[in-house]
Amino acid sequence: MTSSNITGFAPNSAAARDIAYYLHPYTNIKAHEENGPLIINRGKGIYIYDDQGKEYIEGMAGLWCTSLGYGEERLAKAAYDQLLQMSYTQGFTHRSNETAINLAEKLISIAPDGMNKVFFTNSGSEANDTQIKIVWYYNNTLGRPEKKKIIGRRKAYHGITLAASSLTGVEYAQKGFDVPLERFLHVSPAHYWREGKEGESEEDCASRLAQELDEMIINEGPETVAAFIAEPVMGAGGAIPPPKTYFSKIQKVLKKHDVLFIADEVITGFGRTGNMFATETYDLKPDLISVAKALSSAYLPIGAVMMSEEIYNVLRDGGDKFGMWNTGYTYSGHPASAAVALETLKIYEERDTVGHVRSIMPTFLSGLKSFVDHPLVGEVRGVGLVGAIELSPDKKNKGTFDPSAKVAPYMVARANHYGLILRATPSDSVAFCPPLIISKEEIGKVMERANQALDDTWQYVKKEGLV
């Protein structure tokens, strides 16, 4: 296909050339050929602008990641200065660069208690893929080759590499790709509104979910189960905070069976929940933590694995059995990415970004709660500056729409019409995750535009006979 074959778009236009040459991630290919792309040309603060000049509030911080918004000159300058000084050096076979060293040191200084070492990747997917290798290497070093199974949760999202997508618990990320692979298991998601039984309290629900995990480990054999991975707040699964006491109960089960705990903070890290890490928000004690996205405010690709001293010591001892630590990426600890990440962390501290989130999250959460009485809204949920509304045709009975109706995508499309970027997630949920720099006034604009989109969606489902 060449641009001259594309119908409905001006020859050699950006849209025509996009269709002709660019295979997009997470995109319906045939629909894209018909409808074309939304081309974003610039951004400033919480706003982005398409190639027609239309303004949108970026209500999803890109992909949960542009924490400092767009056009932050300090981050651009950090990349520029670093590229002029040292554009690249590898981290293999004892080589290093001072910027990556400084970033590793800074990360550990702000990390939750127990984290002592950093391994750099280029994304959250790579970070979680690396977690798998760490866990398997760890148990091979300890002489436990059978202890390899990793348990995730349905609705969870942990990335899209072959192995990371096996950790992931959403069907759309697995269809057609022959995943999940062996050794990967999934328990129920920690979603009280959807998973709780009639008359069951949040704590009772948490106890039952912990029991489910306990039983799975026992049935599989504790000697075969290596790790459990969880997002403190489920992101792409629907922006779902955990039920009360969930993680305290889960962690007791993991400790009982000598199962490592991986906290996936790719979305929640660096202030999103009102603490620097959601690990602190929910009093988690993980052995390993994955971070990415807001680490550089998405200005350059970077991710990282942080690990306890115990994990590191076993990896170090593994060299006696397997030789060097034979894994890594060409761009691990890339100087420019590290420079931008380091400057991002400086900005968080200098501007008290976490304090800002705490000051405005009541406005954000109350804005979401304003939708609770809407006839189309079954549940409203959120923590910090991340949340969602779940659409339902029968809120009293927690009914669901047929997925083919695409009700949440319809609302997202209407939000786009009103100049607001949101995201449809499973179970007809619509997620909100604005840049951390958003103001109270701008939150008001988000909720106003979302309300317009919601009302339009209500009219749509009535017209289509879906309610």
Question: Which pLDDT score is estimated for 327?
Answer: 95
Q: Which of 316, 332, 350 is the last residue of a domain?
A: 350
Q: What is the pTM of this model?
A: 0.96
In a 3-state reduction of DSSP, which class is residue 436? coil
Q: What pLDDT is recorded for position 122?
A: 98
CA 86 to chain centre: 31
* Per-residue tens of pLDDT for the chain, all 467 residues: 554 456 689 999 999 999 999 999 999 999 999 999 999 999 999 999 999 999 999 999 999 999 999 999 999 999 999 999 999 999 999 999 999 999 999 999 999 999 999 999 999 999 999 999 999 999 999 999 999 999 999 999 999 999 999 999 998 889 999 999 999 999 999 999 999 999 999 999 999 999 999 999 999 999 999 999 999 999 999 999 999 999 999 999 999 999 999 999 999 999 999 999 999 999 999 999 999 999 999 999 999 999 999 999 999 999 999 999 999 999 999 999 999 999 999 999 999 999 999 999 999 999 999 999 999 999 999 999 999 999 999 999 999 999 999 999 999 999 999 999 999 998 899 999 999 999 999 999 999 999 999 999 999 999 999 99
Q: 141 and 204 in one domain? A: yes
Beta pairing partners, 49 = 42, 55
Between CA 460 and CA 444 the distance in angstroms is: 24
Chosen domain end from 306, 321, 350: 350
Domain total in the chain: 2
Give the chain's mean pLDDT.
96
434 occurs within a structural domain? yes
Considering 306, 333, 350, which residue would you say is the last residue of a domain?
350
| Claim to verify: residue 362 and residue 344 sit in the same structural domain | no
Domain hosting 344: range is: 74-350
Q: Are 390 and 379 in contact (CB under 8 A)?
A: yes
Give me the sheet containing 40-44, strands edge to edge.
Answer: 40-44, 47-50, 55-58, 420-421
57 shares its domain with 158: no
Q: Does residue 398 sit in the same domain as residue 332? A: no
Report the CATH number that the domain containing residue 61 is assigned in CATH: 3.90.1150.10
Instruction: Judge if 269 and 392 occupy the same domain.
Output: no
Report the amino acid identity of residue 289. Answer: I
The pLDDT, as a whole number, for residue 111 is: 98
Taking the C-alpha atoms of residue 339 and residue 330, their distance in angstroms, rounded to an integer, is 17
Contact 197, 205 (CB under 8 A): yes
Strand partners, 86: none
What's the gap between Cα 2 and its chain centre? 35
Tokens of residue 321, six digits: 């059995």
Separation CA 380–CA 390 (nearest Å): 6
Identify the pLDDT of residue 6: 67
pLDDT of the residue at 173: 87
CB atoms within 10 A of CB 420: 24
**pLDDT tens track for 316-366:** 999 999 999 999 999 999 999 999 999 999 999 999 999 999 999 999 999
Largest CA distance in the chain: 68
Structural domain contains residue 12: no
